[in-house]
Amino acid sequence: MKLALAAASLAISCFSPTSHAVRYVLQDLGNELVADHLLSFGDRRDELRIGPSGEVVGTGGGNLLIHANGSLQRIAPPQGHRVQRVSDVNSRGDVLVQLTDTTTFRSSMAIYRNGGFVPIGSPTARYSYAYRLNADGDAIGTESSEGATNPTIVRMNAAGSSPIPVTSGNPDFSATTINDSGAIAGFPRDKPANAPFFVEDGSLTSPDPIPEIYQGYLHDMNAHGVAVGWARPENRVMRPFVATSDGYSELEIPRNTGNFFTEGMAYSINDRGDIVGGLAFSRRAVLWQNGKASVLGDLVDSASPVFLLVAMDINNAGQIVGLGGRGPFQPEYAFLLTPVPEPETTWLTAAGLTVIGVVLARSKKRRRPSVGA
């Protein structure tokens, strides 16, 4: 599979009229969006999100924070609640948030749209958390009732919640992402978990397992069913990877970054196939584009050193949000990167995504029994 993706990357590079990486304009958004964040890779509490128009969304002081058009807006949650975290912003600009009741500490999910918070999921669940939100207002996550041993995987929306169909032999799947087509993906909770799973149109599929993989996690999936996340062998470090229901492979680690343990994670993918994430030990934000990895700080024109520590999200316009610092370790500000247009290469990424899809489709698919919706 690695050889297949390498061939795909080579094919993509052949389409390119130039080998130059895209350049970015850096905007320092200040430290208010950073106040509630710890730079702990893999912890979903360290997230910032970017909307379709470049609005940057986060939390601070129990409020929802939205940075747009050069100003920061503070949005108070419903009375008696605090905004615990932001999970996602969909392609319509709706914001998925987790709310916590300040009296009972009950956790619930809501969508912020049109100036108000709309509750989603079961109103009786003791604990709710949703990871991703699609354009139809459907979120994927888990709910727990009082006294329940394990959370239930559910699809949440304003009408309530419904369980996600899984086979009876695999009750411990953890679904963590949903795309605008309604496809769902995740990794088994039990270990060893040596392949992700995908649910589409009631059918559950997985690529052929890789015995070396012990644990994994999917952070995001684009409209074409390409998912990104991390996976690791037992007692070894996490590596970024890309997957579809037909196959998956590690993403390359940029060289000369001081990341001796080669640990990293892919957090977000847009519909053009651009992927962003970070390296854990050397604290570098990374862009994977056209099959190649680049340290994002090297793609910013600046008179002084730029320390971009982790890239958390990328929208379909190619804008990237993440955390940066004055030095290589401590997050001190949120950043927004906007690509400098290069007309001669605007068609490249779509061609590259097509090539990757063709290559992945060549691997054998391990299909599980169809299940009801």
Confidence label for 328 from pLDDT (cuts 50, 70 and 90): low
CB 186 within 8 Å of CB 226: no
The amino acid at 218: L
pLDDT at 170: 53
Confidence label for 19 from pLDDT (cuts 50, 70 and 90): very low
Q: Which strand (E) or helix (H) includes residue 2?
A: helix 2-15
Separation CA 143–CA 127 (nearest Å)? 6
Which of residues 20 and 369 earns the better pLDDT score? 20
Q: Half-sphere exposure (CA, 13 Å, Cβ side) for 197?
A: 24
Question: 128-161: per-residue pLDDT in tens?
Answer: 999 999 999 999 998 887 766 677 888 999 999 9
The amino acid at 5: L
Confidence label for 166 from pLDDT (cuts 50, 70 and 90): low
Which of residues 153 and 17 earns the better pLDDT score? 153
pLDDT at 306: 74
CATH superfamily of 2-366: Peptidase/esterase 'gauge' domain (2.130.10.150)
- Average pLDDT, rounded, for the chain: 80
1 pLDDT more than 50: no
Q: Half-sphere exposure (CA, 13 Å, Cβ side) for 369?
A: 8
Confidence label for 326 from pLDDT (cuts 50, 70 and 90): confident
Tokens 């088994």 belong to 188
25 pLDDT more than 90: yes
Separation CA 170–CA 173 (nearest Å)? 6
Alpha carbon of residue 85 to chain centroid: 15
CB 267 within 8 Å of CB 312: yes
26 pLDDT more than 80: yes
Separation CA 288–CA 300 (nearest Å)? 15
Tokens 């609005």 belong to 55
Q: Report how far apart, in Å, the C-alpha atoms of 306 and of each of 33, 55, 248, 274, 278 are.
A: 18, 22, 32, 21, 15
pLDDT at 156: 95
Question: 303-325: per-residue pLDDT in tens?
Answer: 666 789 899 999 999 999 998 88
pLDDT at 21: 64
Q: Secondary structure of the chain: what % helix, strand, coil (to 5)?
A: 10, 45, 45
pLDDT at 258: 54
Confidence label for 283 from pLDDT (cuts 50, 70 and 90): confident
* DSSP-derived 3-state class of residue 357: helix
30 pLDDT more than 50: yes
pLDDT at 147: 66
* Among the ranges given (26-35, 196-205, 353-362), the one the predictor scored with the smallest mean pLDDT: 353-362
For residue 149, give every residue at least 6 positions away whose Cβ sits within 8 Å of its Cβ, in sequence order, or none: none
Q: Summarize the confidence of residues 53-73 as an average pLDDT.
A: 93
Ramachandran bin of 76, using left for φ above 0, alpha for ψ from -120 to 50, beta for the remaining angles = beta
365 pLDDT more than 70: no
pLDDT at 222: 97
The amino acid at 38: L
Separation CA 159–CA 179 (nearest Å)? 19
Q: Summarize the confidence of residues 282-302 as an average pLDDT.
A: 88
CB 22 within 8 Å of CB 317: no
Separation CA 61–CA 77 (nearest Å)? 11
Q: Half-sphere exposure (CA, 13 Å, Cβ side) for 40?
A: 6
Question: 252-270: per-residue pLDDT in tens?
Answer: 888 765 545 567 899 999 9
In percent, the amount of the chain with pLDDT more than 90 equals 45
In percent, the amount of the chain with pLDDT more than 70 equals 75
15 pLDDT more than 50: no
186 pLDDT more than 70: yes
370 pLDDT more than 60: no
3-state secondary structure 190-225: CCCCCCCEEEECCEEEEECCCCCCCEEEEEEECCCC
CB 294 within 8 Å of CB 301: no
Domain extents in the chain: 2-366
pLDDT at 18: 37
Counts for the chain of helices (H) and strands (E), in that order? 2, 29
Which of residues 304 and 348 earns the better pLDDT score? 304
